[in-house]
Structure 1
Amino acid sequence: MSWPSSPGSSTTHSSNPFAGPEPSATAIRDLNIEARVPIRLDSSSTSYYAWKTYFNLVFREYYLTEHIDGSVDNAYMCSDPEWSAIEATIIRWFYQTQEFFGCHQDNSTIDEYCMRLKMLADELRDIGAKVSDDLMLSTLTAVLNEDFGNAASNLTPLPQPTFQRVVAYLKLEERRMTKLKQRVQHTALAAGRPYPDGASPM
């Protein structure tokens, strides 16, 4: 995991100005990060800098800066269970404070919704919190609007479902539903029932 260093900052372990007592993985895990970082990261640059500032304060207070400033080789430290546990907790914090998990389809098309999810996943990746295909898939299907209720239930039998395959399926289902709605509207017009309560055009 890495965090953008400020210009001229040292990358050596010994000169880290915020080095301190090794934090407890248990204490870090139990920290209420949403209370410490009351900013949900979205695509605006303003929210990003406020979000990052709050996180930097937490990292400094709990001596976690070495986990994100590039001063320690994470590949070397991954064999340390305590270090790995803290790394996992920090990644979970990023997820908890990211707009990715509050993103809903609402009235967006499948294309618009999936592009939004992909952009947010890319932002998470840029801060070292990679979103797996399984997580993308579960997030996508969990917050589809009610029109896709039947479509979501039909995803289980799909062989080796991936994010791309499910998106392709949902696009086909969206087109099918659009054509069905158009057919219903056409039938209503043909039957002479285009206006509610028996009203007729002027």
Structure 2
Amino acid sequence: MGDKHDTQSSSSSPKPPLHPVYTVSNIQHKIRVLDGTKVTYASWVRLFTLHTKTYKVLSHIDGTAPPEPTADNYIDWCEIDAHVLQWIYGTMSDDLLPRVLEDESTAYEAWQRVSAIFLSNKGARAAALENKFNNLKLANLPSFDAYCQKLKDLAGQLKDVGAAVSDQRLVLQLV
């Protein structure tokens, strides 16, 4: 009788531990929605990357090749990749989501599409943002706080396209 019990316990293998990615129920509680204005691309990338490291899924957005479809872990990889893809889609503004959303995409492919939106045509984006920054007037906004926030938002967007605004210039524009 004791032998039968020992045989059953030795033949059953322990379940693998739950992957950390499955513990995230709402990514928006951890990463704010990317809108390109209040939440800049650079800030979103830093937060998103931090979370992918924490939840052990960085390899899904950093260009690491997925396992071969014949590999034993391929199905698990696909499920985890779908979670990371949901994180990306779940942290896009309503305006950005249609530009990123595609059928049959991996998280890495979506990550690249987001990157292309914010990093392509840097010169033209920088010129348009510089124009907005230089022509922003306090009279056009409801309050001084709103004016300061708009300047800060534009400065963040300019930084995203490689045209960072110095603190001195920000103060001069404010004055």
- Both proteins in one fold, TM over 0.5: no
TM norm structure 1: 0.36
